[in-house]
Amino acid sequence: MQGSVTFCVESVITTAVPNNGKLLVLANGAYGLRIAKIAERIGISHSVIDRGEVTPLSPDRIEQVLVEDQEFTHVAVVHCETTTGMLNPVKPIGDIVKKCGKEYIVDAMSSFGGIPLDPADIGADYIVSSANKCIQGVPGFGFVIALKASIEKTKGRARSLSLDLYDQWATMEQHHGKWRFTSPTHTVRAFFQALIELEQEGGIAKRFDRYRKNHEILIKGMTSLGFKPLLPKKYQSPIITSFLSPGHPGYNFKIFYQKLKDQGFVIYPGKVTQNDTFRIGNIGEVYPQDMRRLIGAVESSMYWYSKKREKN
């Protein structure tokens, strides 16, 4: 589906859930809540289990909700919640969703291609991901891997013409992969090249190893400089990490960010509301030696700490 990946998520939500259906959104961050916002804006009946930002989703609680309200037809969850870097247990949740006979939608935007994930194994009816994250292509479209039996039922359900996922799929099937409206040609070509490079790297398992190595160096280095990750290790993905901002009164994110940028590293502001944080991603064409250079750049950007370091 053309567009940024929110377009793609929106096409799934607004095509998959029928008028008499009801969506259960499992949220623990901004991207989970965005799915609920999509449903709300278009008028799809839905409920949200909102676990805040630092609490993992509990499969037991989900089962309870699905049993109590038989109107639910679909369940949506984010795999790697990019807000914090939390990895949600999509397989145990999928087992519950399938046991309850519901359709399962997984936003695997920031994990697919970088973390091994088998759509059939987790019971997903729809997995949504993007050209420009772990696949390492450029932005311009997202893609949906759907169970044929599920998407075949959705003809005429879409609330929007351009985001009609069924029609997009049917057109591609009938016209040998032709996009329904103008195709993002350069992005598709870059995606093709990105897939070749993924293969050359040794596939997803090898890329996962590299991301894990990058992440290990990041955590070790940042911890040695006195930074603390927001999440406990067991919930943390190897994709993006939230760090608590230094409590030092001289710390200022903008200056820290600029000092890092001057040395060639761009980090992300924090996205959680309850703590002051910043985020560092380690996916893309990034290798252990780059992560080591980053740690050196962080150390030399810790201007607020320099007096104490000089004394030592």
Ligand X SMILES: *Cc1c(COP(=O)(O)O)cnc(C)c1O
Site residues (vs ligand X, CB under 6 A): 4-6, 9, 31, 78, 82, 107, 109-110
Measured from the CB atom, the residue of 75 and 298 that comes closer to ligand X is 75
Nearest distance in Å: CB 286, ligand X: 17
Nearest distance in Å: CB 101, ligand X: 26
CA distance 18 to 44: 8
**Max CA-CA distance within the chain?**
72
Residue bearing tokens 């992005």: 187
Measured from the CB atom, the residue of 110 and 301 that comes closer to ligand X is 110
Neighbour tally for 33: CB within 10 Å: 17
Measured from the CB atom, the residue of 130 and 154 that comes closer to ligand X is 130
Q: Are strands 103-107 and 74-78 parallel, antiparallel or unpaired?
A: parallel
Given a contact cutoff of 8 angstroms between Cβ atoms, the answer to whether 252 and 226 are in contact is no
Nearest distance in Å: CB 255, ligand X: 26
Nearest distance in Å: CB 54, ligand X: 16
Nearest distance in Å: CB 32, ligand X: 8
Nearest distance in Å: CB 6, ligand X: 3
Given a contact cutoff of 8 angstroms between Cβ atoms, the answer to whether 88 and 56 are in contact is yes
Cα dihedral 149, 155, 158, 161 sign: positive
Residue bearing tokens 């799915």: 35
Given a contact cutoff of 8 angstroms between Cβ atoms, the answer to whether 97 and 150 are in contact is no
Given a contact cutoff of 8 angstroms between Cβ atoms, the answer to whether 217 and 295 are in contact is yes
Element (H, E) at 261: helix 253-262
Measured from the CB atom, the residue of 82 and 301 that comes closer to ligand X is 82
Measured from the CB atom, the residue of 82 and 187 that comes closer to ligand X is 82
Measured from the CB atom, the residue of 85 and 229 that comes closer to ligand X is 85
Query: Coil, strand or helix: which one is 198?
Result: helix
Listed residue (75, 130, 86, 92) closest to 108, CA to CA? 130
Measured from the CB atom, the residue of 109 and 127 that comes closer to ligand X is 109
Nearest distance in Å: CB 102, ligand X: 21
The alpha carbon of residue 127 and the mean position of all alpha carbons in its chain are separated, in whole angstroms, by: 11
